[in-house]
Chains A and B, each alone.
Chain A
Amino acid sequence: MTQPTSTSSAVTVSTSAAFVATLKRDLLVAFKRRNDLLNPIMFFLIVVTLFPLGVSSDPVELARISAGVVWVSALLASMLSLDNLYRADYEDGSLEQLLLSPQPLYFLVLAKNIAHWLIAGLPVVVLSPLLAYMLYLPQEAYVTLVLSLLIGTPVLSLIGSIGVALTVGLGSRGLILAVIVLPLSTPVLIIGAKAVTDIMFGLPVGSHFALLGAILALTLTMAPLASAAALRISVN
């Protein structure tokens, strides 16, 4: 009874260590599989560059749609890479290990969501001014665009996580992920894109940011809990 069986000491392990380790691990996997890292960025770049070719090269017309184009592409780029979030872990059994950790699942799921955002969200935010320039977005709207994406893209990762967690156990998922995730993501898309168009017309955008911030706060607290519950169901 002396050595390995003392449970009390095992309980006092720190949650932050597990949080950091999970975040690091997911980033490490992404860096080792370079596709994970490049796919969202490449997708984002390609879709946005296709618009001037497909729609028109007229600066006025492009400027009008630019906010929407950048935002929709960001949303799709985030969705495209969602599958990496739990798929491999489900298949190799790591997900079971995650669920059997004595640490609160909320933080472990949050760590994975943050890793997803760093891989699929942050690069999009960083690149957005460049693409906005290509689409003739007026200069006064740049800051608004970047800020709205900075607040909005984490929400996309957090909401997307619920969708993947729900569908990860299904054999053929097809479009079901999009059907679950897109309706939940549209408010962010609408508010984010609207903030950028409004600033172009010189309208106040404070309320848009307040709403985006509120949505982020809500999803940050609630979405990982929903993901955790969904993962439990999927593994069951």
Chain B
Amino acid sequence: MAGMSLPTSSSESPVSAAPESATFAREQSGGVPLLQARSLFCERDERVLFSEFQLDIHAGQLVQVLGSNGSGKTTLLRILCGLNDSYEGEILWRGQPVEEQRETFLASLLYIGHRVGVNRILTPRENLRWSASLHSPVEDDRIEAALARVGLRAYEDIPCRNLSAGQTQRVSLARLLISPAALWILDEPFTTLDVYGVRDLELLLAEHVANGGAVLVTTHHRLDVPCELHRVNLDNPSERTVVPAS
């Protein structure tokens, strides 16, 4: 399985055989990609969002999904997480189908969607405590440190309904700092952040990637990251570009 997983996306599928860097396969990352989508097909309201879609995400890669509104970015992310099962094709985690190892996969996954999963009644601290416990409980001082890093020092015990949209977003992003997950799947994490927040998040993504993690992110924002950036455009799925580190 591991042997055949690498060439699949480039040689077997004519769609993704783009002239250069058709896949993100990097020899140095050691063969088997963390997450692999093979021949994904998804149709919504009788409109084909993608077909024969291939995606390999290796450890140490930052992948940005681009595409016009309604091109299926969120759908793709939800399919890869397992929140949406109206698709055909195969999704592999470390070379094995995800459905055979759901718990292992979920333990390594951190997803932040459009709706960021922050309860408005609870405080940032309480929200994080719960989110962490769903994966692995963390001590309070790590939560405090995470909140401080996302710029919410002194807001730890204020109900989230009193926070601004950007601050609520930051509460959800603090999860990135306390999670042991290898793969981050983030849906439009930049939308409500101010310029400093954007910069912090970009650095955070680069840091995770440098530590051997992987990030899949959708955003319309022009990412300016100190690491290699791989781009997939859902309007033209066969086109893959790699932007060198800035």
Contact = CB atoms under 8 A, between A and B. Distances in A.
A4 B107 contact: no
Contacts of A100: 81-83, 106, 109, 111, 134
A7 B86 contact: no
A1 B86 contact: no
Interface stretch (B113-121, B140-148, B225-233): B113-121
B117 A21 contact: no
Question: Main SS of chain A's interface residues?
Answer: helix
Interface string B160-192: 000000000000000000011110000000000
Interface string B15-50: 000000000000000000000000000000000000
B126 A28 contact: yes
Which of the listed residues A25, A93, A97 has the most CB atoms from chain B within 10 Å of its own CB? A97
B68 interface: no
Contacts of B114: 93
Interface in A4-36: 4-7, 9-11, 13, 17-18, 20-22, 25, 28-29, 32-33
A2 B212 contact: yes
Contacts of B180: 4, 6, 9-10
Interface of B: 59, 81-86, 103-104, 106-109, 111, 113-122, 126, 129-131, 133-137, 159, 179-182, 208, 211-213
A58 interface: no
A11 B107 contact: yes
Contacts of B108: 5, 7, 10
The 7 A-B pairs of least Cβ separation, nearest first, read A93-B115, A21-B133, A101-B134, A93-B117, A5-B182, A13-B136, A102-B106
Which of the listed residues A1, A92, A99, A108 has the most CB atoms from chain B within 10 Å of its own CB? A92
B70 to A, nearest CB: 18
27 contacts: A1-B212, A4-B179, A4-B180, A4-B181, A4-B182, A5-B108, A5-B211, A5-B212, A6-B180, A10-B108, A10-B135, A13-B107, A13-B135, A13-B137, A22-B130, A22-B134, A25-B119, A25-B126, A92-B118, A93-B113, A93-B115, A94-B119, A96-B111, A100-B81, A102-B107, A235-B83, A236-B83
B141 to A, nearest CB: 17
Which of the listed residues B82, B85, B182 has the most CB atoms from chain A within 10 Å of its own CB? B182
A198 to B, nearest CB: 44
A30 B122 CA distance: 10
A97 B117 CA distance: 7
A96 B109 CA distance: 12
A97 B126 CA distance: 15
B207 to A, nearest CB: 10
Nearest to B172: A93
A3 B212 CA distance: 8
Contacts of B208: 4
A200 B91 CA distance: 62
A22 B122 CA distance: 13
A29 B159 CA distance: 11
A205 interface: no
Contacts of A103: 134
A100 to B, nearest CB: 5
Contacts of A98: 134
Nearest to A99: B83
A40 to B, nearest CB: 18
A42 interface: no
A88 interface: yes
Nearest to A104: B103
A91 interface: yes
A91 B115 contact: yes
A96 B117 contact: yes
B186 to A, nearest CB: 13
Given A25-B122, A92-B118, A97-B131, 5 more contacts: A3-B212, A7-B108, A17-B133, A28-B126, A32-B122
A33 B159 CA distance: 11
Given A11-B107, A32-B122, A96 B134 contact: no
Nearest to A94: B117
A96 B136 contact: no
